């Protein structure tokens, strides 16, 4: 592999702009912060991460990598989105919360506790202007009774086809529903981003779920009056019908986020106060609502087209940063919330020579590497060496302590319990900042790292399709020589399995993985292997 390609390993995910006062920031002005988080962008969907088996052009992300540092062992907390977003914003693994598996549901309650420190909270404490623009998917206090929830849903009819969430029957909102919507969506919504450390918010919450409208701060931008048309449901577009603005266009979402982000940068780059912009994009997650100029650009499929459009929006934001004069005083971190979703045509892509997980096994939702090893890039002029590569184990949970370290702030014991500072790595040190980490599959199956060793206390992927050898009760891999997790060493190394299990238990019971006073988890953390599931299988096989 040529050196240039080696430099270009990036993860399409969080663009993190962080100008630091302690490092050559203009006198009297602190660092800016920009985080760009892609949605469902696989490790191998970024060309610089996958130069030999990647067929999607991502010039703006690649340029970011050549200007900064590309991490090849960077992880999200989960193989799905809500839990990963929790950990990124709080510096704490999501599996310490009530969300032991799955994601925050439609019109779900807030996952981040009101008194929990977030990146936004920390930045505000240091005088930052903070904004979140994009997909939140961490819940709001919608305060809906059961009968009210029913007024937000399509009434099922006899014989109605709702396979894969695509309700095909024509749905017309009743007068009662429209009256409730007028009242409900005219009120402020509590518990959202502006109550979790952000001065302002603009986004769609979850683009493939209702309500189908933008939300600005704590109110919907307009009042939904009809159900989303069935032609926009299913087929990798919206997941279900629900309240929508008249003539709502899914294609408008991504460009609007890019425009708002550029506007925020332009308005705040030259202010006395520094800014922190958290930009969780809605793409290339479904809806695969590709605008006309990008359709068929990839010559692969609609998902690949959407990756290219996403890259262009990222370029739009980075250009705005450059034109504002703030680029030299920012740290940019770019990552993704989890791996590529298998249902967007992965098999077809691989047949055409594009492998969304690169050399890794598995996809979104899996405990295998393809589920949570993600694009991960940092750019910080004057601090991060351009074109540098880092193979150390890092996690998105590390952002909080990195911010604190740069700002000279000491985190309390009940904040950032699983966050280690990236600052030494950004400055060129190549020693481990963390010895271990625990990500999880969509179903909650843990993936425990200790150095290059990885332990999965259960069979299969723990994702939607499970897969793998279900006869193997646990899995053990040495990623140093087996990044594709093809050789399960559990049976051959029982002592190592026992040591990994002990480590996992300690990380649970301590309530933290960083040094400090032990903390309590929010709930009793589920243990694995899942003995109840094993016993149920044995019971089912027992002759009666």
Residue 5 reports pLDDT greater than 80: no
Q: Is residue 340 part of a domain?
A: yes
Lowest mean pLDDT among 74-88, 477-491, 530-544: 530-544
Helix (H, G, I), strand (E, B) or coil at 244: strand
pLDDT in tens, 395-408: 999 999 999 999 99
Q: Is residue 490 part of a domain?
A: yes
d(CA 80, CA 308): 22
Residues of the chain with pLDDT > 70, as a percent, come to 89
Closest CA to 368 of 427, 245, 454, 271: 454
pTM, two decimal places: 0.92
d(CA 223, CA 213): 8
Instruction: Give the contacts of 494 (CB within 8 A, at least 6 positions apart).
Output: none
Q: Give the CA angle between residues 522, 524, 525 to the nearest 5°.
A: 95
Residue 164 reports pLDDT greater than 90: no
3-state secondary structure labels for all residues of 56-90: CCCHHHHHHHHHCEEECCEECCECCHHHHHHHHHH
Lowest mean pLDDT among 86-90, 181-185, 496-500, 527-531: 527-531
Q: Is residue 323 part of a domain?
A: yes
pLDDT in tens, 55-78: 999 999 999 999 999 999 999 999
Query: Which of residues 372, 400, 435 is at a domain's end?
Result: 435
> Residue 340: left if φ>0, alpha if ψ -120 to 50, beta else—which one?
beta
368 and 446 share one domain: no
Residue 504 vs residues 127, 396, 470: alpha-carbon distances, Å: 38, 19, 22
* pLDDT reported for residue 452: 98
Report yes or no: 391 and 405 within 8 Å, Cβ to Cβ. no
389 and 496 share one domain: no
Domain membership of residue 328 as a residue range = 3-141+190-435
25 and 133 share one domain: yes
Query: Which of residues 414, 435, 456 is at a domain's end?
Result: 435
Report yes or no: 250 and 209 within 8 Å, Cβ to Cβ. no
Host H or E run for residue 349: helix 346-351
pLDDT (mean) for 214-223: 98
Residue 20 reports pLDDT greater than 80: no
Phi–psi pair at 262, nearest 5 degrees: -60, -40
Write out the E strands in 431-530. Answer: 436-440, 446-450, 453-456, 475-478
Tell me the HSE value of 123 on the side-chain side, using a 13 A CA sphere.
34
Helix (H, G, I), strand (E, B) or coil at 237: coil
Report yes or no: 419 and 401 within 8 Å, Cβ to Cβ. yes
* pLDDT reported for residue 16: 41
d(CA 282, CA 137): 10
The CATH number that applies at residue 314 is 3.40.720.10
d(CA 345, CA 339): 14
Report yes or no: 343 and 410 within 8 Å, Cβ to Cβ. no
Q: Which residue has the higher pLDDT, 22 or 72?
A: 72
430 and 471 share one domain: no
Q: Give the CA angle between residues 193, 369, 80 to the nearest 5°.
A: 30
68 and 93 share one domain: yes
Residues of the chain with pLDDT > 90, as a percent, come to 86
* pLDDT reported for residue 534: 52
pLDDT in tens, 331-376: 999 999 999 999 999 999 999 999 999 999 999 999 999 999 999 9
3-state secondary structure labels for all residues of 251-283: HHHHHHHHHHHHHHHHHHCCCCCCEEEEEECCC
Task: Give the DSSP per-residue string, 393-423.
Answer: -EEGGGHHHHHHHHHTPPPPTTS-TT----H
311 and 422 share one domain: yes
Q: Is residue 44 part of a domain?
A: yes
pLDDT (mean) for 244-256: 98
- Helices and strands (H and E) in the chain: how many: 14, 18
Q: How would residue 29 be classed by pLDDT, with cut points 50, 70 and 90?
A: low
424 and 441 share one domain: no
pLDDT (mean) for 326-331: 96
pLDDT (mean) for 270-290: 96
d(CA 445, CA 78): 10
The CATH number that applies at residue 518 is 3.30.1120.10
pLDDT (mean) for 284-306: 98
Return the axis-axis angle of helices 81-90 and 399-407, rounded to nearest 10°: 20
Q: Which residue has the higher pLDDT, 388 or 168?
A: 388
Closest CA to 136 of 177, 54, 193: 193
Residue 284 reports pLDDT greater than 90: yes
* pLDDT reported for residue 18: 40
pLDDT (mean) for 207-225: 98
* pLDDT reported for residue 416: 98
Query: Which of residues 435, 463, 482 is at a domain's end?
Result: 435
Mean pLDDT value across the chain: 91
pLDDT (mean) for 128-147: 96
Q: Is residue 322 part of a domain?
A: yes
* pLDDT reported for residue 158: 39
464 and 536 share one domain: yes
* Peptide bond just before 284 cis, omega within 30 deg: yes
Residue 165 reports pLDDT greater than 90: no
399 and 531 share one domain: no
What is the number of structural domains in the chain?
2
Report yes or no: 454 and 476 within 8 Å, Cβ to Cβ. yes
Would you call 67 exposed, middle or buried from its count of C-beta atoms within 10 A (0-12, 13-18, 19+)?
A: middle
462 and 534 share one domain: yes
pLDDT in tens, 103-137: 999 999 999 999 999 999 999 999 999 999 999 99
Q: Is residue 164 part of a domain?
A: no
395 and 460 share one domain: no
* pLDDT reported for residue 472: 86
d(CA 294, CA 297): 5
* pLDDT reported for residue 436: 98
Q: Is residue 27 part of a domain?
A: yes
Q: Which residue has the higher pLDDT, 540 or 289?
A: 289
Residue 246, number of CB atoms within 10 A of its CB:
9
pLDDT in tens, 37-59: 999 999 999 999 999 999 999 99
404 and 445 share one domain: no
Q: Is residue 170 part of a domain?
A: no
Would you call 66 exposed, middle or buried from its count of C-beta atoms within 10 A (0-12, 13-18, 19+)?
A: middle
d(CA 26, CA 431): 30
Cα dihedral 365→366→370→374 (10° resolution):
50
């Amino acid at each position: 592999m040529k050196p240039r390609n080696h430099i270009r390993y990036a993860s399409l995910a969080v663009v993190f702009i962080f100008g630091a006062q302690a490092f050559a920031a203009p006198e009297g002005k602190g660092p800016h912060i920009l985080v760009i988080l892609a949605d469902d962008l696989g490790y191998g969907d970024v060309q610089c991460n996958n130069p030999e088996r990647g067929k999607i052009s991502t010039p703006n992300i690649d340029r970011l990598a050549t200007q900064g540092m590309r991490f090849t062992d960077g992880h999200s907390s989960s193989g799905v989105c809500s839990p990963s977003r929790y950990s990124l914003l709080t510096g704490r693994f999501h599996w310490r919360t009530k969300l032991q598996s799955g994601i925050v549901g439609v019109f779900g309650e807030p996952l981040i506790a009101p008194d929990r420190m977030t990146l936004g909270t920390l930045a505000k404490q240091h005088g930052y202007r903070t904004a979140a623009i994009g997909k939140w998917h961490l819940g709001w206090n919608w305060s809906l009774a059961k009968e009210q929830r029913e007024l937000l849903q399509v009434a099922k009819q006899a014989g109605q086809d709702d396979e894969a969430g695509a309700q095909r029957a024509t749905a017309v909102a009743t007068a009662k529903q429209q009256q409730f919507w007028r009242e409900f969506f005219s009120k402020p919504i509590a518990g959202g981003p502006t109550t979790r450390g952000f001065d302002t918010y603009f986004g769609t919450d979850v683009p493939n779920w209702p309500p189908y409208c933008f939300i600005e701060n704590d109110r919907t931008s307009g009042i939904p009056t009809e159900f989303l048309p069935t032609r926009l449901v299913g087929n990798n577009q919206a997941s279900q019908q629900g309240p929508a603005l008249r003539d709502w266009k899914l294609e408008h979402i991504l460009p609007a986020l890019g425009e708002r982000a550029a506007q925020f940068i332009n308005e705040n780059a030259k202010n006395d106060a520094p800014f922190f912009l958290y930009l969780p994009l809605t793409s290339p997650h479904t809806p695969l609502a590709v605008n006309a100029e990008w359709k068929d650009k990839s010559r692969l499929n609609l998902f690949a087209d959407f990756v290219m459009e996403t890259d262009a929006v990222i370029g739009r934001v980075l250009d705005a940063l450059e034109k504002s004069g703030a680029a030299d005083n920012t740290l940019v971190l770019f990552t993704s919330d989890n791996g590529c979703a298998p249902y967007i045509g992965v098999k077809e892509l691989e047949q055409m020579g594009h492998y969304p997980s690169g050399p890794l096994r598995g996809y979104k939702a899996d405990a295998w590497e393809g589920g949570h090893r993600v694009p991960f890039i940092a750019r910080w002029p004057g601090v991060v060496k351009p074109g540098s590569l880092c193979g150390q184990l890092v996690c998105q949970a590390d952002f909080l302590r990195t911010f604190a370290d740069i700002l000279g702030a000491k985190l309390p014991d009940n904040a950032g319990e699983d966050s280690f500072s990236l600052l030494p790595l950004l400055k060129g040190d190549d020693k481990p900042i963390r010895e271990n980490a625990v990500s999880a599959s969509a179903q909650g199956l843990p993936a425990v790292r200790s150095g290059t060793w990885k332990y999965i206390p259960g069979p299969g992927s723990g994702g939607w399709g499970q897969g793998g050898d279900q006869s193997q009760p646990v899995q053990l891999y040495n990623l140093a020589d087996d990044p594709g997790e093809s050789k399960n060493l559990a049976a051959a190394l029982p002592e190592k399995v026992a040591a990994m299990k002990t480590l996992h238990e300690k990380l649970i019971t301590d309530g933290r993985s960083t040094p400090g006073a032990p903390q309590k988890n929010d709930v009793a953390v589920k243990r694995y292997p899942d003995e109840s599931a094993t016993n149920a299988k044995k019971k089912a096989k027992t002759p009666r």
